[in-house]
Structure 1
Amino acid sequence: MGAATKKMQLEAAVVGLLVLVVICWLPSSSEAAAQELGIYDWVTQQPAATGGGCAEKKDAALSAAERIHINNVIDPSDSDESSYKTIGESVANIPDGSTKRYVLTLMPGVVYREKVLIGKSKPFVTIRSRDPYNPAVIVWNDTAATLGKDGKPLGVDGSSTVTVESDYFIAYGVVFRNDAPSKAPAAAWTKNGEAPALRLLGTKATIYNCTIEGGQGALYDQKGLHYIKSSTIKGTVDFIFGLAKSLYHDCNIVAAVDGAAPDLPVAPQPVGSALMIKVAPGSETGFAFKTCIFQGQRIYLGRGDAPSVYSYSKMDKMIVPIILSAALDNAHVPDKGYFYALFKCHQPEIESRLNLGENIMTYAQAKPFLGTQFVSGDSWIPSLPPPDEAER
């Protein structure tokens, strides 16, 4: 082979390598499209975010589904029958085993009074408000004690306003509400008193810019990997619970019960080095709260069957985390349980009254809980626009 031929092959190889590098470093076409599309359309068209922007890091099933979007508008006031009238009707018309992204668009400010189930066989569903600044509301009023068609109590699994069993669910700019009457403060926690607004048991779900409102057990974060971003969660007692592995990022957590917090029959025991392994990054359960704000009266923030790590968050002086409730309020603490830990949180009243000791994490201990890697999110969490982009 001549020297000139070898030189041409080398130049071609270098050019090919440069093209590959540029492809990996250039912004994705979806990011460029954000400048031309309306922001709300753009959010629904996002593929999963990746650490370096290259396709090999994406969830393969998700990437395939994002190539085709089908938009279903749910407008109860549409007289020409070009839209679905209920969310349930729209969900029922999604084929089982669909490999496309179905986007259910709700009308601005409309209240959809219905109970919604998105079954396991219907993955890749998005529910969004057409105008997140005037969000649609999905509301129902069952509790765990409500009697079902068989005359038996629904239980917590059957009482949620919206239940999502399927994988790859996205909600954007929607209010999920359970408006069952709240119990009196003295009996704020009761057996079968749960009134969840949203129940999540599929994996790889993203909740963005939503409001979740209920009473006891407002958010049933049952199982799976979940990313809850820039959302408000409001309830009375024990209102975020379950065995999911979830990252709550930039959320507003509001306790809406008056008076003293009631005792719960569950609470985690004080943290110790022997328990650290139970909240290890590889575990399948746990809640990580990052840069969140906790407001309201004293209230329990979780249960003893799931660890909770709070980082860079602010808690009102009357918010009492579960583990501290045992020290401050003599709540029952079982012999076994997971733990509660803090990293760089601001809670002046509690810090002044109790030496937190081992409940304070070092950076090395906290690091696995400080980003989307906690939920393996680099392959499936959608790329969301920056705040100033959302305002345009």
Structure 2
Amino acid sequence: MLNSYNILHGIKTISYSTVEPVCGHHHHHHRRHKPSDTKKKVSICDDFPKNIPPPDTNTTAYLCVDKNGCCNFTTVQSAIDAIGNFSQIRNVIWINSGMYYEKVVIPKTKPNITLQGQGFETTAIAWNDTAYSANGTFYCATVQVFGSQFVAKNISFMNVAPIPKPGDVGAQAVAIRITGDQSAFVGCGFFGAQDTLHDDRGRHYFKDCYIQGSIDFIFGNAKSLYQDCQIISMANQVSPGSKLVNGAVTANGRNSKDENSGFSFVNCTIGGTGHVWLGRAWRPYSRVIFVSTTMTDVITPEGWNNFNDPSRDATIFYGEYNCSGPGAEMSKRASYVQKLNETLVAEFISTSFIDGDQWLQFSDL
């Protein structure tokens, strides 16, 4: 289990105090060998899974990353660097369990890369830049994906910068920025506080993912479908009956009616702490919908926020359909929220929303 989160009552939250420093020490426990035992386990790599990486095929090449040196690569970035530009085949980077404390960039010249971890609770890439330290929110991500046809499976992306206090300047701390088109994430974790997941642009698919944050923690101007995801607010607790709102799940950046972008959440769950909006209108044509999603009372009764700009009420598209739980009560929702019906939600709820029939290869997932 990664030492960088506490598992409390089934809800994972980052414990920042336990994250290893950049030059963390790794202690390997060696058992004492009896004289008759000398020919048995003597290497940390003796337990390494056989047949990893698997042999290459005509359509797939495999690379292997292990922080203990049991593979060709000890860092994720070095494996990415070893892949040739504009490869026509899929390059699967198999990453062994562990915390990889590094900043990772997948350039536009490297499409068709898969990062395959061993489970989002045991394999993670982490760093601690903020908007202040990186000269801007767009540059502070732990992992930046510019290449198209990117896939990530069973791995976490973490930004372990300190949790910001309200009003802190430059405290945005992105775990991943996804700019490449046609990208898919299955069984992944996204951990941070403010601006965790920068769903920047392109068409993206998220399935069975765990997404944690506090303020605008899913933001950007991509066109994305989130299916069966667990969304956890880690905003500070709010006293019962308080009207204070101290977070937002989404901040969608659709800027004009001509932009074919927006976020659709289907069959997700929302829980955690604090008192947060489902979304706030970061840009005037912000578009987000929630369908068949279970919401705890972490969601405020009004549900949404127009970024304190009433002129946006006429242009934003915020909708809910068939949601449940105490946070899904529609009676006090903001006036501009669309109460959708089955016909209106049809275009948003399947992979056709992101043109998945053209690119989403379930054989790759």
TM tier relative to shorter chain: 0.7 to 0.9
CA contact (8 A) 1:76 1:86 kept: yes
Distance 1:90 1:334, change over 3 A: farther
Please state how far the C-alpha of 1:301 moved relative to its aligned partner.
3.6
Which sits farther off after the overlay, 284-293 or 335-344?
A: 335-344
Correspondence 1:310 to 2:290: yes
Provide the rounded CA distance (Å) in 2 between the counterparts of 1:355 and 1:284. 26
Corresponding residue number in structure 2 for 1:145: 132
Corresponding residue number in structure 2 for 1:160: 141
Identity, in percent, stands at 28
Correspondence 1:229 to 2:207: yes
Provide the rounded CA distance (Å) in 1 between the counterparts of 2:350 and 2:290. 12
Does 1 or 2 have the higher relative contact order (CA < 8 Å, sep 6+)? 1
For these two proteins, the number of residue pairs brought into alignment is 299
Provide the rounded CA distance (Å) in 2 between the counterparts of 1:181 and 1:134. 20
CA contact (8 A) 1:320 1:350 kept: no
CA contact (8 A) 2:130 2:137 kept: yes
Please state how far the C-alpha of 1:355 moved relative to its aligned partner.
5.7
Provide the rounded CA distance (Å) in 1 between the counterparts of 2:156 and 2:297. 27
Please state how far the C-alpha of 1:216 moved relative to its aligned partner.
0.4
Correspondence 1:178 to 2:156: no
Corresponding residue number in structure 1 for 2:324: 346
Letter in 2 for 1:91: I
Q: Secondary structure at the match of 1:99?
A: coil
Correspondence 1:288 to 2:271: no
CA contact (8 A) 2:219 2:251 kept: no
Match of 2:96 among 96, 107, 112: 107
Letter in 1 for 2:90: R
Letter in 1 for 2:277: Y
CA contact (8 A) 1:237 1:300 kept: no
Corresponding residue number in structure 1 for 2:231: 253
Distance 1:132 1:384, change over 3 A: farther
Distance 1:134 1:238, change over 3 A: closer
Corresponding residue number in structure 2 for 1:116: 104
Q: Secondary structure at the match of 1:367?
A: helix
Letter in 2 for 1:340: Y
Q: Which runs of 4+ in 1 moved over 6 A?
A: none
Distance 1:245 1:133, change over 3 A: closer
Q: Secondary structure at the match of 2:216?
A: coil
Letter in 1 for 2:123: A
CA contact (8 A) 1:238 1:301 kept: no
Q: What's the RMSD between the two structures over aligned residues? A: 3.2
Letter in 1 for 2:94: T
Corresponding residue number in structure 2 for 1:320: 300
Provide the rounded CA distance (Å) in 1 between the counterparts of 2:233 and 2:162. 16
- Which structure has greater strand proportion? 2
Provide the rounded CA distance (Å) in 1 between the counterparts of 2:172 and 2:224. 20
Corresponding residue number in structure 2 for 1:371: 350
Corresponding residue number in structure 1 for 2:10: none
CA contact (8 A) 2:215 2:247 kept: no
Corresponding residue number in structure 1 for 2:34: none
**Residues 348-386 of structure 1: CA deviation (Å, up to 9, x unaligned):** 355265166762101111100110000000122232699
Q: How does the TM-score come out when normalised to structure 2?
A: 0.74
Q: Secondary structure at the match of 2:263?
A: strand
Correspondence 1:359 to 2:341: no
Q: Secondary structure at the match of 1:193?
A: coil
Match of 1:300 among 255, 261, 277: 277
Corresponding residue number in structure 1 for 2:19: none
Please state how far the C-alpha of 1:92 moved relative to its aligned partner.
1.0
Corresponding residue number in structure 2 for 1:193: 171
Please state how far the C-alpha of 1:105 moved relative to its aligned partner.
0.8
Provide the rounded CA distance (Å) in 2 between the counterparts of 1:207 and 1:350. 26
Please state how far the C-alpha of 1:323 moved relative to its aligned partner.
5.4
Provide the rounded CA distance (Å) in 2 between the counterparts of 1:308 and 1:362. 15
Please state how far the C-alpha of 1:94 moved relative to its aligned partner.
1.1
Please state how far the C-alpha of 1:214 moved relative to its aligned partner.
0.7
Q: Secondary structure at the match of 2:170?
A: coil
Please state how far the C-alpha of 1:165 moved relative to its aligned partner.
0.4
Provide the rounded CA distance (Å) in 2 between the counterparts of 1:86 and 1:229. 26
